[in-house]
Structure 1
Amino acid sequence: MTNDWQRFFTAERPLAVRRGRGPGDRSLIVVESDDGPRLSLWDAERGTVAPLSQLTSGDLAQAVLSSDGEQILSLHDDNGSEVGHVYATRLDGGAGRDLTPDLPPYTLRGIDVAGRADRAVITCAAEDGFALWLLDTAGPAAPEMLFRSPHEAWNGLISTDGALACLDTTDHNPGVRRFAVTVVDTATGEVLDRLTDGPEAPVRGVRFSPVPGDGRVLVATERTGFARPCVWHPKRGTRVDIEAPHIRGDLVPLDWSEDATRILAVHVDGGIHRVMEADLESGALRPLDHPPGAYFEPDVADALCHQWASHYGPGRTVRLLRQRFDSPLRVLHGDGQDAAPVPRLFPEPDLDGVRCESNQVRSADGTHVQLWWARPRRAQGPVPLVLHLHGGPNLVTVDRYDPAAQAWLDEGVAYASLNYRGSVTFGRRFREGFMPAIGDRELEDIEAAVGWLVAEGVADPDKVFVTGASYGGFLSLLSVGRLPGLFAGALAHVPMADWLAGYEDMNPALRAAWASFFGARPEDGLERFVRASPITYVADVVAPVWINQGTHDTRTAPKQVRRYEEALRAAGGNVVVDWYSGGHETSGRAKALGEQSRMLGLVRAALRRQPWS
């Protein structure tokens, strides 16, 4: 057997292009290297791209540029634990400087930089709750706390001149993750206003206007049940909503033009992206011309709202970041009144990958769920298949480059990825459809997807495997326990296997989130946590199970995985656990290649009816 599939992992793989907030046109480029993310600085005015090889520590995947473009701000933690402090590291070398030296370690749930001031805000979660802190990025001034709450509060943002800050809060509706946007004065810490559309419809901050002195905030609302852009002026108490009644699905706001007259947004209908631009002066909403693919990827539990996203360049230039299942991220082209050509930043390797198709699958109660899928080239009739389940749950699989998907297909294994209930960009009802009976609706969607793939002649019903990371890993383990016989094996990365033990050990940010999702804490809703836990069903597991788990994970902590392994083995199950030194997020081409090789070996063994342990 050849290892040609490795080319999908060894090709240069950009992860994000993130424009700085300050003057000029500087962007951070995040590229996946053999041992993790690495940064380069793209100065578009000079036409240069310079590797920042001296920066090797901190969460570089979530790093941002300071306003002067001379420093990188990033979280430094203990071996991927996601609990630590934000540091500023100069691009010209030298040791990083802790910007919050007197604070206890925290989990970062928001970071933003003022474009015309030496200021930044961070949103922290610790044992004493959630807080918004104002940082001085240029001098020794101590951080100032602007807001604190015992309830979930994420995604702090700061205005271009540093005078205002906002964050997504739940104080108006505690215990329910339907945010409002709260604005504070950075000079006094006074709460100026709060934008809420009531207890049913969340509002989330996107970005302050890039024009100094303009205190308007671009937010995403859901008054119709689907995302729509809205421009809110907290000091005047006015708002401009882009209703777009003629389109169905989410219209996700991403960015302002530099003159704050236009909004960039992506219309998502059934998982398919269509980039649009809204003119705030005329009210016109026009689609941009672009090829099929994904143009942003939402995030839910990190410092930034999106893992990567299309955005505006100088003037009204639009920089479309685009990728597909078979094509890594590219800066595609400029489009706009002042459009300028965008240089090719990355090579375009001919990887000879396979594109995925999108279909809607009808679940047990009639809900339609979106499924990406592909057959191997030259496949005739049903073949073995791997079903991928994304993490989150409030994440989504977009049409982005996936070396693992291409590796499976290259080795003759069909591939599918399901956006089950709980996924974002399909409207509020779908996003919240997994609560509070965690796992129940998702299993219905999984069973429906497998049934569709078998009925369409894509998958051999006796040779279907399930895989995923984090919440996707949890669903993989839950599937082989509650749907015995449906899968020939489960390949679970950093899964939640025992909610009771896991809740005790997870970081405070996650504890608050899961209390909201379950609608209770364990002491108040024990039966919900027990019912949702894969460890409850170990006696019913007949498929082999592989778990890949980090030693410093504070989301799905190690203890609960050990408990599941012991329980499944005691019940006679076939289980293998591979441990690695690190946290919840694994990175690096070398590690990803090793994990894929391991999974390929396990699937081949299962197809030969050989045990995994």
Structure 2
Amino acid sequence: MSSDAWRDRFNTPIIQDIRPCPGDINLEMIYAAGLSDAEVSIWNPATGETLQVPDLPPHVANPLPAADGRSVLVLHDEDGGEVGHLWSYPVDGEPVDLTPELPPYTLRGIDVARDGSAVVIATVTDEGFTLYHLTGAAAHRLYRSRNEAWNSLVSADGALASIDTTDHNPGIRRFAVTVLDTSDGAVLASVSDGPLAPLRGVRFSPVAGDPRLLLSTERTGFARPAVWNPLTGARTDVEAPELTGELVPLDWSDDGARLLLVHVDGGIHRVYEYDLQAGRLLRVSHPDGAYFFPEVACAVTNQWGSHYGPGGQIRLLRQRADLPFEMLALDRGEGEPRSVLAPQNVVPGIPLRSVTVTSKDGTALQLWVAAPEGASGPVPLILRVHGGPNLADVGGYHPAAQAWLAEGFAYASLNYRGSVTFGRTFREGFWGAVGDRELEDVEAAWRWLVDEGIADPSAVFMTGSSYGGFLTLLSLGRLPDLFAGGFAFVALADWKLAYEDMHPALQAAWRGFLGGRPELAEERFRLSSPMTYVEAVRAPVLINQGRHDTRTPARQAEEYARRLRAAGGDVLLRFFEGGHEPVGNDGVAGKIELELELARKALRGERWS
């Protein structure tokens, strides 16, 4: 591959999500990163017709299609700061503010009734966590709590709403599920698996009048599906004792008879159906790859996920590290899926392989890794850590990884403790000691990559976004001899300063993870902050920060850079106009270009600043 061929991956829109329209599951919403910003359209797989949604606001993230597929719902936040109002943007006509009477809020849940009668949203403000039922231009409050509450869902006929709550367990992110009557906000039922095992709502039955709710439970320590009727209390748990790892529920078939599930074991995805009447797991035939991307704390249940289409058709969304989004369709009775949306203009790349690495205390870690074409020994390497921390690298499409590989660098991405889909103990492994276990995992990955002869020990660069940016900065200060440089994107550099400036939704989460407010857990905030270790940093640092970010705010990044410079460190601080998740291929390609230039400078012994 020529040295600039990696740029070709950014010359066409890159699909980020494909989501069915609730009231017409023939139709799909396609959300893509365009050259400068997000692009959203409504697509009919049967006819190929595509309708573009015009005049969207900048920085659109996690859009959701309306029931009829004629509009999309997005948080309009002006500057990317994730605080604003939910608006409806039609394929034709004028956009509408759906909550004009409410103060600005952060959105942490949204769902649309299949019959189009209602929308439910979970919002966060200084006053707490609130569930609203939207009909027309009216917003009716159904629930409010000072304790964390996320992930709003609504039944097919709009009669019931659910929200994941922590009132039973304040300050600890192990949810129960509460179901309410949308007509008056009356609590109809709650379901909890006790103080240790969280429950999450996934989706109400798509059948009108059917109150059953698909849940994800962790009674065994690993995710399993359950179907619960809040009106009768009846519950069916899919135990699947023959499967190790997690069995993650994604969707119901449109007749309410089957569930779509993904088995995740060691990070590898295998798709199943579950026949509710027969009580039987059915393996789905498919090529290898990633079939959903988990997200535990945003406006939608998963950033993207495979789902059912009409007539029980399975619509498999698939990615691989070297292959962009495609949709495969599998009709009932068919043996093999067929492609209905193939990626266009695919630039040849290198797939990542999954390996197991053992951390300091014996914990097994999953690492995705690849060497550049033709490499016969140790080469410079990029070690990436994902954000979250409650996310995971699923081995999905990652054009930045392919850019590094094309330029002669090896590449690895680590699922450290805190990652999801590896069980509750692994996901909660960082609680109360934020940064400590994760850095043990980073060091274990580094040593494995060096011992295996993949990475040149003098030329390992670390990179990550958000919590991954935090771990990048923390590693440079606490493991200063391991890295030749660090690229931190929208990074958290100081917990106390960040806590003072971040939006309330994140404050509640970090109080739980760090052990309280800054004044009550002062020592933990200090020990977990990269700012504490600036004088130990030896490698050059790039910090790329959003000017209006409310998750990892600007002030703490500026103070980190100032203190690192004062200590003699080599640091570049770059700001972009936006929030936490800018969308646009041009900006991503520019970021990669800068990082490639800086990595080569470091290898030549040149300063970055």
Which TM-score tier does this pair reach, normalised by the shorter chain? over 0.9
1:200/1:610 CA distance change after superposition, 3 Å: same
1:421-450 CA deviation, whole Å, 9 max, x = no partner? 000000000000011100000000000000
Matched residue, 1:169: 165
1:188-587 pair list within 5 angstroms: 188-337=184-333, 344-587=340-583
Q: What displacement does 1:24 show?
A: 5.1
Aligned 8 A contact 2:212 2:228 in 1? yes
State the distance in 2 between where 1:471 and 1:108 align.
Answer: 20
Cα offset, 1:63, TM superposition: 1.3
SS of 2:356's partner is strand
Partner of 2:126: 127
CA 1:611 to 1:341, structure 2 compared with 1: closer, same or farther past 3 Å? closer
Aligned equivalents of 1:209 and 1:37: distance in 2?
A: 31
Q: How far 1:334 moved relative to its partner?
A: 1.5
Cα distance per residue 1:330-377 (max 9 Å; x no partner): 002324248998663344434110000101100000000100000000
CA contact (8 A) 1:66 1:118 kept: no
Superposed CA deviations along residues 216-260 of structure 1, whole A, max 9, x for unmatched, are 000000000000000000000110000000110010000000111
* CA offset digits 1:191-224 (Å, max 9, x no partner): 0111100000000000000000000000000000
1:106 corresponds to 2:132: no
Amino acid at match of 1:368: A
Any idea what SS the aligned residue of 1:497 has?
coil
* C-alpha distance 232-20 of structure 1, shift in aligned 2 (>3 A): same
Counterpart CA distance in 1 for 2:197 and 2:532 is 35
Distance 1:259 1:23, change over 3 A: same
Give, in angstroms, the shift of residue 60 of structure 1: 3.8
Do the aligned residues in 2 keep the contact of 1:376 with 1:414 (CA within 8 Å)? yes
Provide Cα deviations, 1:45-74, integer angstroms capped at 9, x if missing partner: 5x1332415142165441112223222111
User: Alignment partner of 2:311: what SS?
Assistant: coil
Q: Counterparts of 1:224 and 1:355 in 2: how far apart (Å)?
A: 33
Tell me, what secondary structure is at the counterpart of 1:511?
Answer: helix
What SS is found at the alignment partner of 1:344? strand
Identity %: 54
* 1:152–1:170 Cα contact (<8 Å) kept: yes
TM-score (norm 2): 0.98
- TM score, norm. by length of structure 1: 0.97
The equivalent residue for 1:44 is: 45
- Opposite residue 573 of structure 2, the aligned amino acid is V
Whether the 8 Å contact between 2:12 and 2:34 is mirrored in structure 1 is: no
Note the residue ranges of structure 1 that are not aligned, 5 or more in a row: none
| Paired residue type of 2:114 | G
Which residue of structure 1 aligns with residue 78 of structure 2? 78
The structure-2 alpha-carbon separation of the partners of 1:161 and 1:237, relative to structure 1 and needing over 3 Å to count, comes to: same
Instruction: Kindly provide the CA deviation profile for residues 80-138 of structure 1, in whole angstroms up to 9, marking residues without a partner as x.
Output: 000000011222132x21111111110000010000132100000000000000011xx
Number of equivalenced pairs: 608
Once the two structures are superposed, what CA deviation does each residue of 1:285-320 show, in whole Å capped at 9, x if it has no partner?
A: 021111110000011332111111000011111000
Provide structure 2 residue ranges, at least 5 long, that are not aligned to the other structure. Answer: none
Q: Is the contact made by 1:80 and 1:583 (CA closer than 8 Å) also made in structure 2?
A: yes
Evaluate the alpha carbon distance shift between residue 611 and residue 111 of structure 1 in structure 2; reply closer, same or farther with a 3 A threshold: same
Give the Cα–Cα distance (whole angstroms) in 1 for the partners of residues 13 and 20 of structure 2: 20
CA–CA separation in structure 1 for the residues paired with 2:285 and 2:23: 29
Q: Give the C-alpha shift of residue 485 in structure 1.
A: 0.9
After superposition, give the CA deviation of every residue in 1:384-439 in whole Å (9 maximum; x if it has no partner).
Answer: 00000000000000111101000000000000000000000000000000111000
Amino acid at match of 2:330: G
Cα distance in structure 2, aligned partners of 1:88 and 1:453:
48
State the AA in 2 paired with 1:31.
A
Q: Secondary structure at the match of 2:329?
A: coil
Deviations 1:442-495 (A, max 9, x none): 000000000000000000000000000000000000000001111000100010
- CA–CA separation in structure 1 for the residues paired with 2:106 and 2:185: 22
AA aligned to 2:5 is: D
Q: Secondary structure at the match of 1:48?
A: coil
- Letter matched to residue 56 of structure 2: T
Distance in 1 (CA, whole Å) between partners of 2:333 and 2:76 is 41
Q: Aligned with 1:524: secondary structure?
A: coil
Contact 1:364 1:444 survives alignment (8 Å): yes
CA distance in structure 1 between the partners assigned to 2:336 and 2:315 by the alignment: 10
8 Å Cα contact 2:117-2:157 kept in structure 1: no
